[in-house]
Amino acid sequence: MVAVQGSVLVVQHGVLLGRVRSKHLAGVHPATPEEEVMGPGPATVRANEPLDALLERMAARNVDEMVVTTTDGHLLGVVRTEDAS
């Protein structure tokens, strides 16, 4: 798992499977498997996307961060607007 502002990314064998947000955890027993509470994976971008286009897309979606993966879903990292400015 990888922590991302307000959520945790669920990764298995390097592939992004989904995301657990704090809202998913309300009233859930601590022993509940993550796959039972996670939502679908977040929207992702590729590492070769031009930064200007990425920042425009993030602004249009009103998000501060995007998950970066390979074309086959392997997690590379997270880009944040504060890091890109």
Nearest C-alpha neighbor of 76 from the set 2, 18, 26: 2
pLDDT 10s digits, 23-72: 778 888 889 988 888 887 778 899 999 999 999 998 998 888 888 989 98
Show the domain range for 9: 2-84
The SS3 assignment for 23 reads: helix
Q: How high is the pLDDT of residue 46?
A: 93
Rounded to an integer, what distance in angstroms lies between the CA atom of residue 61 and that of residue 68?
16
pTM value is 0.71
CA atoms within 13 A on the CB side of 85: 8
Q: How high is the pLDDT of residue 6?
A: 64
Domain CATH number, residue 37: 3.10.580.10
Number of domains into which the chain is organized: 1
